[in-house]
Amino acid sequence: MTQRTEVAVFGGGCFWCTEAVFDELRGVLSVVSGYAGGTVIDPTYEQVCGGGTGHAEVIRIEFDPEQISFRDLLTVFFATHDPTTLNRQGNDVGTQYRSAILYANEEQKQHAESFIKELEGAGSFDKPITTTLEPLIDFYPAENYHQKYYANNPFQPYCQVMIPPKLRKLRKQFMELLKSHGKGAAD
């Protein structure tokens, strides 16, 4: 029996942060940090950070829809970053840090549009959602040292400040979606 997998691509600021969050979810088979949404072929981190490529820092999530739905991924995505700040997450500023859903197909686009309308209708945020919906044209994996960055560099100062609060929120609000219920909150 072959496992059916799907792909979701999200930009929610620094990919170190989003990767750490989605790595903890059951049904997520892999999370790869990378670049998408721009015009430069095979960009480097330095090029993307410069802001001139049009690419955003994103994560490519391969998931098993039998274990976790695209809607669940959207729920976690919107809960673990600020989708109301245009081209910014915290101190990370520029289009490369935009909140973005890069949809792989029309079905994902429709789900994302509907989900955003639900959030707006419910008044989930004090400000309008600025998350862009963009077709996924190309995805370029980031350099190897960016992959599993938080897992490999938990004491890096930026990571220590930015990632544990996101993981605490994830573990508190979405325990039923975690790979392991035995993990404690990050300190």
C-beta separation of 15 from 36 below 8 A: no
Residue 136 parent element (H or E): none
CA angle 59, 50, 143 (to 5 degrees): 40
| SS3 per-residue string spanning 76-93 | HHHHCCCCCCCCEECCEE
Residue 12 sits at φ, ψ, to 5 deg, of: -140, 45
Q: Which of 14, 17, 49, 159 is catalytic?
A: 14
| 14 a catalytic residue | yes
Catalytic residues: 14
